[in-house]
Chains A and B, each alone.
Chain A
Amino acid sequence: MKILETINLTKHFGGLIAISDVNITIEKNEIRGLIGPNGAGKTTFLNLITGYYKPTKGKIFFNGSDITGLPPYKIIQKGIARTFQLTNFFPEMTVFENIWLGINSISRKPWDFYHHIGSLKYLNDKVLEILNLVGLDQKKHMIAGNLSYGDRKLLEIGIALSTNPTLILLDEPMQGVSPEEKEKVVECIKRISVDKTVLIIEHDIDVILRLCKTITVLDRGKVIAEGTPNEISMDINVQRTYLGIE
């Protein structure tokens, strides 16, 4: 079953063509890798899906419904979540509060102004569930800004999970993570992918090869190859892009 489908997705910035006629289809419960050299348009693609940019041309379908041009918050409410290339969370709040915000956003009354936050047990239990899943339950009291880089990435994934998405878009989850902590993040992505669809943008090819069964390669805004890790590494276009073979 298709969960995300883009049809002729195109984005121009003035004269620059960032994304041109991209058709990508992601199946339910797969882990898809999206790779490509710098400036290939990977993050722009993510920004188009999550509504940060409006596409110049083309359509985006999520779970069969057209989400092209919706404001970001509505797209998130439909069940897409994302992380950011540079860590992006609430640095002065605790780890617990960071996750709590996402849980609250999909609760029945996110604007509840009457109850004390400590008393809403059903929200707080879900927070603890997610903290367990991403492996941050020991650090729930910490101020998020004091976390290590690896833990920040875990927190990012946790925040993305907190809005109960069916599709998670991870933008370079390994960036800046030390080799020791990398394993934690990979394990975490494996755990969440059990019942979620994941799209990973990553420069670390090892991680992509370990996690993904299908890989899409972008270059200069175009899809130049798509297939299993083996097919991709044999593909002449990919070799040309990455190794400069003529």
Chain B
Amino acid sequence: MVCSVEGIGEKMKTSTDMISLFRVTLSRSLFHVSIITITLMILAPLLPTHVLSYMITISIFSIYAIGYDLLFGYTNQTSLGHSLFFGVGAYGFLLSVLHLKTDFWGSLAIGLFLSFILALIIGIISVRLSESYFVIVTAIFSNIFYSYALNATWLTGGSDGLSINVPTIYLGNISFSVYDPVINFYFNTIVLVFVYFLLKRIVDSPLGRVFIALGQNQERLTYLGYNIYRYKLLAFIISGVFTGLSGTLYCIRLRYASAEFFGIIWSILPIIWCLIGGRKTLLGPCIGVIIFTFFQFYISSLWTYYLIFFGLLIIILFRFSPIGIVGYINQRWGRQIHENSRNN
């Protein structure tokens, strides 16, 4: 963490005055993220399986977390309906493999397409609502799907779920199978890095700035000539699709999906990830995922009620930093860098 903070300092000195006019955030340190990722990927074959499994889960959840953060952190809209896209992404993949017999990429595309369509429809209905109604309506939508998935056992397998054989991935002439944990790790990490850079691009673009402004003052933005509902919808769709992608990858990893994928817990988890790590930073949610998944993987075997530890941790963390870990680091050191760049 510390090294990435220094990273901004170096970058700020070399960057033009123009860039320094925009508020500095920690997520600038892409270079270090890449280094860590590449190191992990080189080390992957040497790691024990449970560590690999842990890291695969981190990758999948991180995609969910940073996609959700675009909506929750940047545009400041709290959705409790994202489990819907998570479940739809998973079932879109699973059902197309089972019934349509599509190949890997085809099924993945269907999963993503379904979450896109649903995000579009639910977004159009809910983005016009003010804050609390938005939360309620999105929560209702995901609950409708949850109830339906529980009851429609002929389609979803209910809470027992359905298992599949994940098709072999063909990439040109090369073929590989996600049944090999190392391959699976590579696959998920590459997708995560791709998603991260894509979202990074969006966040640093004019659109990203509008998203941030949307989170701060919707009225003023309207009176600057922005159709805010269009931008809210856009953020909703982007985050919905990435959530769908994460659901698909989770289904691929478990080779299984159940109605529980639609459960409210999958809507609450991303909020927790974002809050621990720090909203409005792309790195933050990933760190939230790393911490939470650590509890799920390692502490849970020590004691069934491990979430009590986690709850305590959250309370202590928010006592010292209500804006999360990365938010704290940004505030502590990011501002300082900001001041320095102004004096130069």
Contact = CB atoms under 8 A, between A and B. Distances in A.
Given A92-B23, A93-B212, A117-B22, 17 more contacts: A76-B225, A84-B223, A89-B220, A90-B216, A90-B220, A91-B216, A93-B213, A101-B209, A104-B209, A106-B225, A109-B206, A113-B206, A114-B201, A117-B204, A118-B15, A124-B18, A124-B21
Interface of B: 15-16, 18-23, 201-202, 204-210, 212-213, 216-217, 219-228, 231, 234, 338, 341-342
Interface in A82-119: 82, 84, 88-94, 96-97, 100-102, 104-107, 109-119
Size bracket of the A interface: 35 or more
Contacts of B222: 72-73, 76
Contact of A113 (B202, B216, B217, B220): B202
A90 B217 contact: yes
Nearest to A112: B206
Contacts of B201: 113-114
26 contacts: A73-B222, A73-B226, A73-B228, A76-B222, A82-B223, A84-B220, A84-B223, A89-B217, A90-B217, A97-B21, A97-B209, A100-B209, A101-B210, A102-B224, A104-B209, A104-B210, A105-B224, A111-B231, A112-B206, A113-B205, A113-B208, A117-B22, A117-B208, A118-B21, A119-B18, A124-B21
A111 B226 CA distance: 10
Nearest to B16: A118
B213 A101 contact: yes
Contacts, number: 120
B298 to A, nearest CB: 37
Interface in A41-96: 50, 71-73, 76-77, 81-82, 84, 88-94, 96
A83 to B, nearest CB: 9
Given A50-B223, A94-B22, A110 B212 contact: no
Contacts of A101: 209-210, 213, 221, 224
A196 interface: no
B225 A114 contact: no
A81 B228 CA distance: 17
